[in-house]
Each structure stands twice: as C-alpha cells, then as structure tokens.
Amino acid sequence: MVNSVGLPKGAIFDQDGLLFDTEVIFEQSWIKAGEEVGLPVTLELTHRLSGCGKKELAAIISNEFQDVDAEAMVERAHRLAADTQLAMKPIMKPGVCEILGFCRKHGIRTAIASSSMRHLVDHNLEVTGLTEFFDAIVTGRDVANGKPAPDIFLLAAERIGVHPSECVVFEDAFPGICAAHAAGCRPVMIPDRTQPTPEILDICETYPTLTDAIHNVWNDCEHLIDQAIAGRDLL
C-alpha cells in the first residue's frame, strides 16, 4: 500500500517495556544474577541497565562492582530472563494493537529494534500474533555497538528502506532515546519503569501510552487515527 500523504514513512519500535510489559522480568533477573555472586544489584541499577546492548551492560557492571566477571553476569541475567519469557505469553502494553494496525493500514513501514535476543523477539511476536505487522527485526547481535549508539536504528531504517530522518522511534528507556536521537530519527518516549529527565526531554517527545502517541505524532491525520482506534479488527 502507498504511504498516506503527511505520514512519517517508518516507525521503529523497541520491544521490552514498549510493546510488552516485560521489563520487570529483567529487573528480577538482574537482582537474582547479582545474588548468585554476592553482589547487591539495586532496582535503581536495573533501571540504568535497561535498554542497553551487551557490551554496554558489561561496562556498567564493571564500573559498578570490582572483581566481577561482568560478561558472565550479563549472560546469566539474560539467560534467567530468557527462561522466564519463553515460558509465558507477554502482556501487550496499551495502544500496541492500535498503532500497529494504523501503520499497516496506511503503508508505514515498521521494524523492531531491540537489545533482546532474536529468538525472544520471535517468540513474543509469535505468541501474541504480531509477527506479520513488522517488516524487519533488528537485535543487538546484528550491530557492533548497542544502544545508546545509533547503530541499531540506522540498520532498522536501512532494512525497511526509509531514511532515518523519516522514521519515528518509539522507546521506553533512556539509552534507546539517545540512540534514536543520534541516528537522526524522531525519538518518542513512552515511559515504563523510569520517567524522562530534563536532559531526555530536550531530545524527545513523550506520551503516556502508544495510543496517545498516535494522536500526537500523526495529529494532522485525525480522521485516519479515528478509523484506527475504532477498528480494532485491524489486528
């Protein structure tokens, strides 16, 4: 379908905490991974870890704790989180159905750009029936540098064939917002576990839910939005 006049041509979505209510799983996994090696991982630290790539996670852990095998701890936390996710169907965040239906109906190319592992992304999309609503999937292992570097969003834009400046990026975490900004995309924050700081607000828009984002990002296409919100049978 040809893209509707006046709409951004690409929409790139983070996964955990943005599409699915899964950030709490990572919080619990980080705390448990720390307990196993006698390290006090706080909730505040898990929030700083949220959304980062593996190398970036290891750097934060190394900076926080001395004499720790940071890479092994990252792998352990990810394994714990993966085991939990693969045994469940994730809860979708408010507005997911509406925004994906809106994008598909109006020819907006879509991608996921997630620091998570590919098999977890595939699992979450499959069990929620969302696979067909994405034109590309990019994960942390597809790029040399994870969030907050721009690599993952640049690659996502390339794979959907849209210039970064014509892409809206939806994120819930600071590293992703910084990455989207660095990539030259339009960053939109939908807060999950953390609220935007003044510094983050300087480089992004923020809305309570994806439903609110539809109305504001595409505010000049209100008649199309109303159709998407009313037509939940799009999914």
Residue positions annotated with a catalytic role: 14, 16
φ, ψ at 187 (rounded to 5°): -80, 135
Distances, alpha carbon 226 to alpha carbons 8, 92, 97, 233, in Å: 17, 21, 14, 13
Q: How far apart are CA 171 and CA 29, in angstroms?
A: 21
Contact 50, 193 (CB under 8 A): yes
**Cα–Cα distance for residue pair 226/222, rounded to 1 Å:** 6
* CA 108 from centroid of its chain's CA atoms: 18
Please name the residues in contact with 167: beta carbons below 8 A apart, sequence gap of 6 or more. Answer: 8, 9, 10, 11, 12, 153, 156, 157, 160, 185, 186
